[in-house]
């Protein structure tokens, strides 16, 4: 996971893809000023929903 300037994002992905371990690198999100402190996702149906805080053990979500 890398957080980069939006103006550099495509270049960063290209550099990551140049390495065999990064051949599937993708842009998966963006930081916005709206709803500061919240994480939202776009569902397969195109709607947006808030990702709630985890209850219990805080395990990584990106696997």
56 lies in some domain: no
Which tokens is 35 given? 């709803």
The confidence score (pLDDT) of residue 8 equals 96
24/1: higher pLDDT: 24
31 lies in some domain: yes
Banded pLDDT at 18 (limits 50, 70, 90)? very high
Dihedral sign for Cα atoms in the order 15, 27, 52, 57: negative
DSSP-derived 3-state class of residue 48: strand
Each residue's pLDDT tens digit, 33-46: 887 788 888 888 98
34 lies in some domain: yes
Give the chain's domain count: 1
60 lies in some domain: no
57 lies in some domain: no
55 lies in some domain: no
Query: What is the domain range of residue 24?
Result: 6-50
46 lies in some domain: yes
61 lies in some domain: no
């Amino acid at each position: 996971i890398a957080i980069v300037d939006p103006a550099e994002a495509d270049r960063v992905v290209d550099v990551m893809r140049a390495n065999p371990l990064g051949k599937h690198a993708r842009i998966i999100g963006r930081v916005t000023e709206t709803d500061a402190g919240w994480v939202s996702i776009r569902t397969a149906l195109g709607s947006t929903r808030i990702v709630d805080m985890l209850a219990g053990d805080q395990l990584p979500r990106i696997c």
